[in-house]
Amino acid sequence: MALLEIEQIYTAYDRVDVLEDVSIKVETGQITCILGANGAGKSTLMRSIAGLHSQKTGEIIWGETNIAALSADQIVRLGLTLIPEGRQVFTELTVEENIALGAYATDPLTAPELEQLYQLFPALRGLKHRKAGSLSGGEQQMLAFARGLAARPTLLMLDEPSLGLAPVIVEQLFERMSDLKQQGLTLLLVDQMAGLAMSLADQVHLLQSGQLKFNGTPQSLLDSGLLEQSYLHEHETSTASPSI
């Protein structure tokens, strides 16, 4: 059953098209992965779904409702939570204050709910009184993850969670994603670590230059050879010399 359906989304920045006619489905209880090289439009798609980008047309169907015109705070209240690229924690607030802010759009976290988050991210327990700005990149990413879960999402969207992190921290984060899937949470994932992402994913969608080039299972994408072709195409496009 589709939890979220994106239908013919077109998104632009200052009249320059970034996404063109993109349609995808996110099935309940699955991990859906958006792949593509840098500049393919992955983060723009995530921001469009989350209500953070207004220059768009098309439909974003949540349940039976088109939420494309809703604001970001309205979308969070419906159960869609985005953990953005770059973590974006509140550096002057403590770890526990950051987590509590994740529930700003709903009811305050209960003590058992906070304890569940510390069980999921045990490293944060000993850091709960530290200011977020003093944490390492990996600790901040775990904090951003916990803050996103504090919103009690039905759909958790993660934009490049592994970016800039040490391999051991990346492995821990992907283990947490697997745990959450086992608990029944639906996830929409964008990550440059294509192999790791596909190892978790039930369905994958491949973007190239803002257009959808593939949707299906991870194995069928590997068999198609389109993933390698897409990354090679973007590399050649970005390094090509102008015609004389």
Amino acid at 144: A
Each residue's pLDDT tens digit in the chain (244 positions)?
799 999 999 999 888 889 999 999 999 999 999 999 988 999 999 999 999 998 899 999 998 899 999 999 999 999 999 999 887 899 999 999 999 999 988 889 999 999 999 999 999 999 999 999 999 999 999 999 999 999 999 999 999 999 989 999 999 999 999 999 999 999 999 998 999 999 999 999 999 999 999 999 999 999 999 988 887 765 555 544 343 2
Gyration radius from the chain CA atoms: 18
Tokens, residue 234: 């973007």
The model's pTM: 0.90
CA distance 149 to 82: 10
Tokens, residue 70: 């809703």
